[in-house]
Structure 1
Amino acid sequence: MSTSEKIRSQDAMKAQVLEWQNQGLKVVFTNGCFDILHLGHIDYLEKARQLGDRLVVGLNADNSVRKLKGENRPVNPENARSRMLAALSFVDGVTVFSEDTPKQLIEQLIPDILVKGSDYSIETIVGADIVLKHGGKVETIDLVSGYSTTNIIEKIKDK
């Protein structure tokens, strides 16, 4: 599958998730800004994919990133961030959402496994209740220490 084929609208991603699930495949979902792709992201996404058969990434739209991270973000626009994520072999699908949280997207996709970093507790993961109600699982993954987009930006500013 080409990189561009992995990037889908929310409706098209819903149809794809249903197709995979009908084939008996376990669909993992995670979300984030993924502004400047770094080792922490790669490690996290690779481990997320290992929890199931397919990995779908919900990507915060540019307006959503600005609300979360400030007016100077994102550094990379959503089309570039989508393409970079889709280029990773362990990412099977990318879809963009504009809301502050991925709750509506999770309600639409109903993944089998919802994943976030271990800096979240299950109780604070948006959409955990939805996935659990549908018989799915919610998992956390330990993050690689010292890697974050904010740290990278600060390091560049200090040069």
Structure 2
Amino acid sequence: MTCMLADWRQATAKVRAWQRQGARVVFTNGCFDLLHPGHVDYLEKAQALGERLVVGLNDDASVRRLKGPTRPINPLADRARMLGALRCIDLVVPFSEDTPLALIRMLSPDILVKGGDYRVDAIVGADVVRARGGRVVVLPFLAGYSSSALIRRICERCGCDERA
């Protein structure tokens, strides 16, 4: 399986083609800064829900607004490259908004997946996916993994300030 980085127009065309072929398209999104085993576990489980996995990836400005001025650690191109190396991902689509709602509307995935302790009705885009007969799934995170915790651990071991 080869992953591709696509703009919204390319991604929409690809998703429509897969759906015409009968593939269930799964969508998830995130910052994916400092890729770790928790991310990989989550993405593999998301992909297993359908035949194709599309990952919406927050761009650098969006990550800064969501996570603070010292993030992301890795720029968009590097984060996309890391995700693209995972066999479970078919398509990576960057977005600049704080939420993926517009991208979800455009792509119309069959299955929307979020990780953690979200309530389905609180997931951005859940109403859009459900309105067209799709499913919304919440997958638990693999305990003990987070990019923020990884940054803290590195800083503790190196004696640096994680806000620097």
TM-score, L = length of structure 2: 0.94
- 1:39: Cα distance to partner? 0.6
What count of residue pairs does the alignment treat as equivalent? 157
1:91 matches 2:100: no
- 1:130: Cα distance to partner? 0.2
SS in 1 for 2:55: strand
Within 2, Cα distance between the matches of 1:16 and 1:9? Answer: 11
Equivalent residue, structure 2, for 1:62? 60
Within 1, Cα distance between the matches of 2:97 and 2:130? Answer: 22
Q: Could you report, residue by residue, the CA deviation over 1:12-51 in whole angstroms, capped at 9, with x for unpaired residues?
A: 0000000000000000000000000001000000000000
Within 2, Cα distance between the matches of 1:92 and 1:65? Answer: 22
Within 1, Cα distance between the matches of 2:38 and 2:149? Answer: 11
**Quick one: which amino acid aligns to residue 57 of structure 1?**
V
Within 2, Cα distance between the matches of 1:130 and 1:104? Answer: 10
Moved over 4 A (4+): none
- 1:120: Cα distance to partner? 1.0
Structure 2: runs of 5 or more not aligned: 158-164
Structure 1: runs of 5 or more not aligned: none
Q: Could you report, residue by residue, the CA deviation over 1:30-79 in whole angstroms, capped at 9, with x for unpaired residues?
A: 00000000010000000000000000000000000000000000000001
SS in 2 for 1:45: helix
Equivalent residue, structure 2, for 1:18? 16
Contact 2:2 2:90 in 1 (8 A): no
Within 2, Cα distance between the matches of 1:63 and 1:36? Answer: 16
Taking only the aligned residue pairs, the percentage that are identical comes to 55
Within 2, Cα distance between the matches of 1:10 and 1:119? Answer: 28
- 1:121: Cα distance to partner? 1.0
Within 2, Cα distance between the matches of 1:47 and 1:60? Answer: 20
Equivalent residue, structure 2, for 1:50? 48
**Quick one: which amino acid aligns to residue 66 of structure 2?**
L
Equivalent residue, structure 2, for 1:132? 130
TM-score, L = length of structure 1: 0.97
**Quick one: which amino acid aligns to residue 79 of structure 1?**
A
Contact 2:2 2:87 in 1 (8 A): no
SS in 1 for 2:94: strand
Find 2:28's aligned residue among 13, 27, 30: 30
Within 1, Cα distance between the matches of 2:27 and 2:134? Answer: 11
- 1:123: Cα distance to partner? 1.1
